[in-house]
């Protein structure tokens, strides 16, 4: 459930499924006389006798002692945590019907009760809509619902007579759910067009409870932005007078809310003191995670219940004000929906890594400059530092209760060290593996400079580390020229010297295709500048941790391998960029470039997710390798590393099959 107040996922987990735990009941009822006495002396006592529920586990919102916002802690949390819900619908109370909609949308087991003398004319329509009675032979009637299940009782004594809360009584719910869905399908209650089901379309349902001018103004207020959004919005309409609706009208409304992304609901009451339909539908829309906009007419609705205090609401004095008020609200929600869709894409990647709410980052050490005080082996270069910084910022923003731990960097074993101490290499590898057990982690560094990357990638692909003669068994292979002063550090199962077959160029062989690295003068360079444009590559490996934890927990590893740090940084940016915003102090050109980068990352990530969605990690598939190309510019006239990331491109993905021992 998405919180309709914060626009984030609800932090409450819902009821526990442990059968040994005492069950809880939440009672939805008006406050005050005579309902307080009815609750204390009737409902709580009867429920206690019918099922094994302690008195203190029967709750009502005003009896809850939780601190914080009333709606979150006293109502939403109580409804989500309750195993059973009872709603007294004797009175046309807006809070009651709103909470009933919430419970219904959250698939709760619900019992309806009413006073025998109640004159609330809405009781019959709601009990028919959500009852579990036998199917009505009338072809115009539908019954039950695909979410909450409600039973109507005419008196409290029915609790005892029918044992209404026993588990056996609710065993037919799944069948009822299927019956109702069949009913909707056969009667073709609504038939959304192709555009409405398109991922890029925004389906809006506009509920207006009065005919005439108000409907026209509603539609115009929503439709006014169509020209500015390439006709992306699709509008459904429901217009009715405030009167008793038949069951199929309710079914249409229910189905439309489920299919829509935004619901605009006219809360204005006319003939009746409360428009209970709209409050029920508002609760249902909130439970379904829809962006719901209640429209509140100040002239006709002098006061509104506390339950309506959601994130989106529009107050107006006259219908002609709607166009000015409603139009920008929908545009803002539209923007948030797009942003949320992009963020969900990123969560598809990181949720698996953060199940334990902790992520470990391992880097390789870099030697300092000879003769300087920083020649220790615990330094990391600027690109690795920037990559860790980006990742940490992203996790802090999107996973507030999780933490990133940067482990102490480790220098790569030198070739001579391996050759001189072959008998100790196995022990060393085991010591590295032990640091990864029971952790979800990111390895920043290539196998030629990182023992973490060398050993983990070798184990994932079923080969021996530090053994180049096996590299013909690998799905990817780096070709990189070894400089003389680098050679003592170079020994890896994943690297080869460039060869004639591939024009003696640095590059990567991925899925039997060679991709060469390029660097050339920038054709767009202004006079007096000496800029170059380059392209480097990154192999991104995501897989199950090859060293299972003792408790059987599923941990994941990500390894970023390549040639240069700017490539690693580009890959991290691909997975974190939407959390960053352009600096408002930047000029228009800089802002435009920043926005262009964000669009590039989002577009390339979509291509990546499209391919990995075809790969399911299972018994015979442990992960996948992905080839990414990163472009950059640099200034030859300036000292140091002047490379500047410009774009990233997704190339291809290949699954990693399980290797037999």
Predicted confidence band of residue 132 (pLDDT cuts 50, 70, 90):
very low
How large is the average pLDDT for residues 107-134? 59
pLDDT at site 541 = 95
Q: Are 545 and 556 in contact (CB under 8 A)?
A: yes
Q: What is the pLDDT of residue 456?
A: 93
Q: Which residue has the higher pLDDT, 416 or 516?
A: 516
pLDDT digits (tens, 9 = 90+) for 522-552: 766 665 667 888 899 999 999 999 887 777 7
On whether the CB atoms of residues 558 and 541 are closer than 8 A, the answer is yes
| 49-74 average pLDDT score | 53
Q: Which residues pair with 237 in a beta bridge?
A: 206
pLDDT in the model for residue 139: 29
pLDDT at 135: 35
Q: In this prediction, what percent of the chain has a pLDDT beyond 90?
A: 10
Q: Decide if pLDDT at 443 tops 80.
A: yes
- Rounded to 5 degrees, what are φ and ψ at 290? -85, 155
Other CB atoms within 10 Å distance of the CB of residue 413: 20
Query: Where residue 558 falls among pLDDT bands split at 50, 70, 90?
Result: very high
Q: Which of 7-21, 23-37, 243-257, 468-482 has the highest mean pLDDT?
A: 468-482
Contact 498, 505 (CB under 8 A): yes
Please determine, for residue 88, whether its predicted confidence score (pLDDT) is greater than 70. yes
When mean pLDDT is compared over 220-234, 409-423, 523-537, the highest value belongs to 523-537
User: Which segment of 71-75, 303-307, 393-397, 653-657 scores lowest on mean pLDDT?
Assistant: 303-307
316 and 295 Cβ atoms separated by less than 8 Å: yes
**CA pair distance 484, 499, nearest whole angstrom:** 17
Average pLDDT, the chain: 71
Q: Of 41, 24, 22, 26, whose CA–CA distance to 156 is shortest?
A: 41
What pLDDT score does 294 carry? 84
Q: What does the pLDDT average to over 61-83? A: 63
pLDDT of residue 124: 58
Q: pLDDT at position 205, please?
A: 76
Is the peptide bond preceding residue 643 cis, with omega within 30 degrees of 0?
no
pLDDT band, very low/low/confident/very high, at 310 (cuts 50, 70, 90): low
628 alpha carbon, distance to own chain's centre: 24
pLDDT of residue 357: 86
For the cut 90, the answer to whether the pLDDT of residue 313 exceeds it is no
Residue 252: per-residue pLDDT: 73
Contacts with 432 (C-beta within 8 Å, 6 or more apart), sequence order: 410, 451, 452, 455
* Mean pLDDT across 334-340: 75
pLDDT at 297: 73
pLDDT category of residue 661 using cuts at 50, 70 and 90: very low
3-state secondary structure (DSSP) of residue 350 = helix
pLDDT of amino acid 421: 61
Residue-range domains of the chain with CATH: 25-187 (3.40.50), 194-341 (3.40.50.2300), 355-515+538-627 (no CATH)
Residue 409 pLDDT = 77
**pLDDT above 80 for 120:** no
- pLDDT greater than 60 at residue 491: yes
- Joined together, the tokens standing for residue 474 give 């690998």
SS (H, E, C) 496-539: ECCCHHHCCCCEEEECCEEEECEEEECCCCCCCCCEEEEEEEEE
- Tell me the range of 286-295, 338-347, 622-631 where mean pLDDT is highest: 622-631
Alpha-carbon separation of residue 593 from 245, 292, 459, 541 (angstroms) = 54, 35, 41, 29
Which of 424, 417, 398 lies closest to 346 in space, CA to CA? 398
| More confident site: 150 or 207 | 207
Q: With 80 as the cut, is the pLDDT of residue 406 above it?
A: yes
Query: Is the distance from CB of 564 to CB of 383 less than 8 angstroms?
Result: yes
């Amino acid at each position: 459930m998405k919180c309709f107040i914060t626009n984030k996922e609800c932090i409450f987990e819902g009821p526990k499924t442990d059968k040994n735990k005492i069950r809880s009941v939440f009672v939805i009822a008006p406050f005050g006389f005579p309902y307080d006495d009815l609750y204390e002396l009737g409902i709580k006592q009867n429920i206690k006798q019918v099922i094994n529920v302690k008195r203190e586990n029967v709750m009502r919102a005003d009896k809850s002692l939780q601190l914080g916002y009333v709606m979150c802690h006293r109502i939403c949390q109580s409804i989500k945590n309750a195993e059973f819900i009872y709603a007294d619908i004797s009175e046309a109370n807006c809070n009651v019907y709103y909470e009933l909609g919430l419970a219904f949308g959250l698939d709760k087991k619900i019992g309806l009760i009413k006073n025998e003398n109640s004159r609330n004319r809405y009781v019959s329509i709601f009990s028919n809509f959500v009852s579990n009675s036998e199917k009505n032979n009338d072809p115009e009637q539908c019954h039950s619902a695909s979410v909450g299940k409600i039973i109507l009782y005419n008196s409290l004594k029915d609790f005892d007579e029918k044992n209404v809360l026993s588990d056996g009584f609710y065993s037919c719910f799944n069948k009822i759910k299927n019956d109702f869905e069949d009913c909707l399908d056969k009667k073709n209650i609504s038939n959304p067009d192709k555009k409405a089901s398109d991922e890029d379309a925004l389906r809006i349902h506009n509920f207006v409870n009065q005919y005439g001018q108000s409907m026209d103004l509603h539609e115009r207020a929503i439709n006014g932005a169509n020209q500015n959004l390439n006709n992306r919005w699709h509008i459904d309409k429901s217009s009715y007078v405030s009167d008793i609706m038949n069951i199929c009208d309710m079914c249409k409304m229910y189905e439309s809310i489920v299919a829509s992304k935004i619901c605009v609901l006219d809360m204005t009451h006319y003939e009746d003191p409360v428009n209970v339909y709209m409050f029920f539908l508002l609760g249902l829309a909130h439970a379904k995670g829809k962006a719901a906009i209640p429209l509140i007419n100040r002239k006709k609705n002098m006061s509104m219940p506390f339950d309506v205090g959601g994130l989106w609401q529009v107050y107006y004095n006259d219908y002609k004000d709607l166009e000015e008020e409603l139009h920008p609200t929908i545009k803002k929600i539209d923007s948030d929906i797009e942003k949320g869709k992009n963020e969900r894409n990123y969560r598809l990647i990181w949720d698996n890594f953060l199940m334990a709410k902790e992520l470990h980052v391992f880097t390789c050490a870099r030697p300092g400059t000879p003769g300087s005080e920083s020649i220790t082996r615990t330094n990391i270069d600027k690109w690795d530092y920037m990559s860790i910084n980006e990742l940490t910022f992203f996790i802090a923003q999107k996973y507030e209760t999780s933490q990133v731990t940067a482990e102490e960097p480790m220098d790569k074993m030198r070739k001579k060290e391996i050759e001189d101490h072959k008998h100790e290499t196995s022990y060393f590898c085991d010591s590295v593996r032990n640091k990864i057990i029971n952790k979800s982690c990111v390895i920043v560094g290539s196998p030629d400079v990182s023992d973490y990357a060398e050993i983990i990638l070798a184990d994932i692909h079923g080969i021996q580390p530090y053994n180049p003669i096996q590299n013909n068994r690998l799905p990817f292979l780096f070709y990189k020229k070894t400089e003389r002063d680098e050679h003592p550090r170079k020994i890896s199962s994943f690297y080869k010297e460039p060869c004639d077959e591939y024009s003696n160029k640095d590059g990567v062989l991925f899925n039997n295709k060679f991709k060469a690295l390029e660097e050339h003068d920038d054709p767009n360079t202004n006079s007096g500048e000496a800029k170059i444009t380059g392209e480097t590559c990154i192999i991104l490996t995501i897989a199950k941790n090859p060293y299972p934890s003792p408790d059987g927990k599923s941990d994941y590893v990500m390894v970023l391998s390549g040639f240069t740090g700017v490539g690693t940084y580009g890959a991290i940016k691909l997975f974190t960029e939407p959390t960053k915003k352009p600096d408002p102090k930047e000029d228009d050109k800089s802002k435009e470039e920043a926005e262009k980068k964000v669009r590039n990352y989002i577009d390339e990530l979509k291509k990546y997710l499209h391919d990995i969605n075809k790969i399911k990690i299972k018994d015979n598939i442990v992960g996948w390798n992905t080839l990414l190309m990163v472009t950059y510019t640099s200034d030859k006239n300036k000292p140091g590393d002047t490379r500047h990331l410009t774009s990233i491109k997704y190339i291809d993905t290949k699954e990693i099959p399980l290797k037999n021992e």
